Amino acid sequence: MQGRILDDYDCRILDCLQRNGRLTNVELSTQVFLSPSQCQRRVKRLEEEGIIQGYSALLSPEAVGLGVLAFVSVSLAMHGENPARAFTEAIRDIPEILECHAVTGEADYLLRVAAPDLKSFSDFLLHRLMRVPGVTNVRSTIALEELKRTIALPLRKTAKP
C-alpha cells in the first residue's frame, strides 16, 4: 500500500489514537478541534483505507511473565520465493515470535522474540526455530534493558503543508 499524504487533522487524529486508542469520539473530536460528526467520518475513512489497522492493549511483558526479549537473526540455506514462503509459513503461528522482518545484510530475517526466561528462550531456539526447514544460522541478542518502547509512528513529516 502506497502511503498517502495525510492532512493535519488526520495526523492529529492518528496521534491521539496512537497515544490512547480508548478515547471516545467526543473526547477525540475535542482534542483535534473538529465536530464529533466530522471526526467520526475521518476515523471511519482512516479505518476503511487501512491506515488504522486495529486497536489493542499494550501489555507489560514482565507483568505477564515474559522477562526475556531477544532479537534473533536468521539465515536460510537457500534463497528465492519458495524457501521464503516456507519459512514464513513455518514461523507464522509460533507465539514467541512477535515480529519478523526480511532484512538486508548478513542475515535474511530479523525476529523479535519474547520468552519467560533464558531456559525457555534456549528451548525455543534449539527445539523450534533451528528445526524450521531451511534455517542454517541463528544469532541472538538478548535485550538487557528497555530504554524506549513505542508503537506510535512519527506522523508530522507526512502531513500536507
CATH number at residue 115: 3.30.70.920
pLDDT at 80: 86
**The domain spanning residue 42 has which CATH number?**
1.10.10.10
- Same domain as 137, residue 66: yes
Strand order in the sheet with 97-102: 97-102, 109-115, 68-76, 135-142
Question: Beta-carbon neighbour count of residue 2 at 10 Å?
Answer: 3
With respect to residue 159, please indicate whether it lies within any of the assigned structural domains: no
CA dist 107 and 138 (Å) reads: 9
Contact 77, 133 (CB under 8 A): no
- Same domain as 101, residue 69: yes
With respect to residue 12, please indicate whether it lies within any of the assigned structural domains: yes
CA dist 132 and 135 (Å) reads: 6
Q: Which three cell numbers stand for residue 24?
A: 471516545
pLDDT at 155: 87
The contacts of residue 156 (CB under 8 Å, 6+ apart) are 11
Residue among 56, 67, 48 nearest 21 (CA): 56
- Predicted structure pTM score: 0.85
Q: pLDDT per position in the chain (161 positions), as tens?
A: 456 789 999 999 999 999 999 999 999 999 999 999 999 999 999 999 999 999 999 999 999 999 999 999 999 998 888 999 999 999 999 999 999 999 999 999 999 999 999 999 999 999 999 999 999 999 999 999 999 999 999 986 545 54
CA dist 69 and 67 (Å) reads: 7
- Same domain as 119, residue 79: yes
pLDDT at 161: 47
